[in-house]
Amino acid sequence: MDMKIDAAKVEHMLDEAGGADKQRLDSILDRAESFKGLSPEDVAALLTTDSGPHIERMFKIAGSIKEEIYGERIVMFAPLYVSDYCVNKCRYCGFSCDNKFSRRRLSMDEIKAEAEILERMGHKRLAVEAGEDPVNCPIDYILDAIKTIYSMKADTGEIRRVNVNIAATTGDNYKKLRDVGIGTYILFQETYHEPTYSELHESGPKKDFDYHLTSFDRAMRSGIDDVGGGVLFGLYDWRFEVLGLMLHNRHLDETYGAGFHTISMPRLCPAEGMDMSSYRILSDEDFKRVVATVRIAVPYTGMIISTRESPAMRKELIKLGISQISGGSSVEVGGYAARQAGGEQFELADGRPAIDVLRWLMDESLVPSFCTACYRKGRTGDRFMSLAKSGNIKNVCLPNALMTLCEYMMDYGDDAFRNQAGALIEKNIPKIKNEKMRELTKGSIKRIKNGERDLYV
């Protein structure tokens, strides 16, 4: 059966869970400490409590999950916007079809140029982004774009994993995406609250709530193993949205054997010209609580934040369990080439160049990782999830992080960067618990320094 969500039932679940007593909250948090995740019912209780000590404890548990499971590694990615044509009228988005501006989609040569710039920034993992327009941006164009990106090599640089964030589509189109070797298929539900969804999506195919909600069912039935969900926090009540995500995750897990591979955490930020009175903007404190709740509810699901958040907020959120961030991003079609030509300016909350984001992470003793190993080793879908849930995935994450950081420093770092990254790698090698893996990593680091590339476990 496909995913369904009944707004009244979710509201009822939150009402029922509200005011859970100390004993119930203690028991939920005791279970959360075993890092096995929580049921949507448990999550509802945590979302609705106003017990300060329990909220405090949630933050602590989220922090310890982050340390225990993810350690110091943070996976890096970059978005690549290929087309801003869109036939939908979504009130909260600049690409909405009623916004009049000159739209474009990149030619394959322009895509090559963008991919080359990203490769020369050291990126190995991209998210291809496009608005929905079957005429100006059909599926064949997206497939060609993905093939073009995979074929592009700038010296030792290459994109090894292309994730895709495009509109809900048919099972046949998902099969085509699977066949060109996408990593994760990402689609934001935007809001799980159907009345709000209907109000904000004024026209276009995206207006069909059920079709949008059941996209991952079609994708998974078509052989796409890894799917990534998300909502745009601020469109509706955050408690409802987190519970919606958890119910969706449970549906995918029970039906296909694997829940979300990643959950993206974009937050609506006030922007000029936007009537913010109809939105429910989250405070920083509530947003931290959202991140902590999701972290303890699904400890093995990757959590992503974008450059929408400021460096200070990113730092706080990483401590609570964010495992993937973008760096040096452009959210414009053709933005990387335009920036190189001196045109587009960074307009994001975190607009630092990628290398500065890496330096900053390393200053915080975090290990930037360009790892794409799981997908290339066939660790996807239920195979990934069983490894993740058993806790064994961390045995490969740190070695891969260190190897890919070493590759980055050799290819793109200046002397200062190499010194900093080299010291960080040395400091982290002893943290690899398995002796065989530790020795293998040491050997691989040596080989990378001697010119070999693309080593992974």
In whole angstroms, what is the distance from residue 203 CA to residue 201 CA? 6
Using the rule CB under 6 A, is 369 a contact of ligand SF4? yes
Using the rule CB under 6 A, is 76 a contact of ligand SF4? no
> Which of these ranges, 89-97, 114-122, 347-355, 406-414, lies near ligand SF4 under the rule CB under 6 A?
89-97
Using the rule CB under 6 A, is 397 a contact of ligand SF4? yes
- DSSP result, 334-365: THHHHHHTT-SPP-SSS---HHHHHHHHHHTT
In whole angstroms, what is the distance from residue 290 CA to residue 255 CA? 26
Residue closer to ligand SF4 (CB basis): 202 or 284: 202
Binders of ligand SF4 in range 323-362 (CB under 6 A):
none
- DSSP result, 253-299: HHHHS---SEEE--B----TT--GGGS-PPPHHHHHHHHHHHHHHST
Per CB under 6 A, the list member of 96, 173, 326, 380 interacting with ligand SF4 is: 96
Query: If you ran DSSP here, which 8-state letter would residue 233 be given?
Result: B
Q: How many CB atoms are located within 10 Å of the residue 366 CB?
A: 21
Residue closer to ligand SF4 (CB basis): 160 or 319: 160
In whole angstroms, what is the distance from residue 248 CA to residue 212 CA? 12
H or E stretch including 315? helix 311-319
- DSSP result, 167-198: ----HHHHHHHHHTT-S-EE---B-S-HHHHH
- Shortest reach from residue 323's CB to ligand SF4, in Å: 8
Beta bridge partners of 431: none
In whole angstroms, what is the distance from residue 159 CA to residue 147 CA? 11
Residue closer to ligand SF4 (CB basis): 206 or 295: 206
Residue closer to ligand SF4 (CB basis): 28 or 166: 166
- Shortest reach from residue 13's CB to ligand SF4, in Å: 28
Asked if residues 62 and 320 have their Cβ atoms less than 8 Å apart, the reply is yes
Using the rule CB under 6 A, is 371 a contact of ligand SF4? yes
Using the rule CB under 6 A, is 373 a contact of ligand SF4? yes
> Which of these ranges, 56-64, 305-313, 364-372, 439-447, lies near ligand SF4 under the rule CB under 6 A?
364-372
In whole angstroms, what is the distance from residue 439 CA to residue 429 CA? 9
> Which of these ranges, 24-32, 58-66, 93-101, 142-150, lies near ligand SF4 under the rule CB under 6 A?
93-101
Tokens of 213: 């909600």
Using the rule CB under 6 A, is 206 a contact of ligand SF4? yes
Asked if residues 328 and 355 have their Cβ atoms less than 8 Å apart, the reply is yes
Residue closer to ligand SF4 (CB basis): 151 or 203: 203
Binders of ligand SF4 in range 161-200 (CB under 6 A):
167
> Which of these ranges, 85-93, 276-284, 326-334, 355-363, lies near ligand SF4 under the rule CB under 6 A?
85-93
In whole angstroms, what is the distance from residue 223 CA to residue 182 CA? 11
In whole angstroms, what is the distance from residue 12 CA to residue 22 CA? 21
Residue closer to ligand SF4 (CB basis): 48 or 395: 395
Asked if residues 296 and 66 have their Cβ atoms less than 8 Å apart, the reply is no
Using the rule CB under 6 A, is 82 a contact of ligand SF4? no
Q: What radius of gyration do the chain's Cα atoms show?
A: 21
Q: How far is CA 53 from CA 46, 286, 339, 437, in A?
A: 12, 15, 47, 40
- Shortest reach from residue 312's CB to ligand SF4, in Å: 25
- Shortest reach from residue 226's CB to ligand SF4, in Å: 10
Using the rule CB under 6 A, is 393 a contact of ligand SF4? yes
Using the rule CB under 6 A, is 444 a contact of ligand SF4? no
- Shortest reach from residue 52's CB to ligand SF4, in Å: 34
- Shortest reach from residue 333's CB to ligand SF4, in Å: 11
Asked if residues 371 and 401 have their Cβ atoms less than 8 Å apart, the reply is yes
> Which of these ranges, 11-19, 218-226, 234-242, 372-380, lies near ligand SF4 under the rule CB under 6 A?
372-380
Using the rule CB under 6 A, is 95 a contact of ligand SF4? yes
Per CB under 6 A, the list member of 7, 11, 26, 93 interacting with ligand SF4 is: 93
Q: How many CB atoms are located within 10 Å of the residue 45 CB?
A: 24
Per CB under 6 A, the list member of 17, 80, 82, 90 interacting with ligand SF4 is: 90
Residue closer to ligand SF4 (CB basis): 132 or 241: 132
Using the rule CB under 6 A, is 86 a contact of ligand SF4? yes
Region of 454 on the Ramachandran plot (φ > 0 left; ψ -120 to 50 alpha; else beta) = left
- Shortest reach from residue 91's CB to ligand SF4, in Å: 9
Per CB under 6 A, the list member of 49, 83, 88, 165 interacting with ligand SF4 is: 88
Residue closer to ligand SF4 (CB basis): 29 or 263: 263
- Residues in the site for ligand SF4, rule: CB under 6 A? 75, 86, 88, 90, 93, 95-96, 131-132, 167, 206, 369, 371-374, 393, 396-397, 400
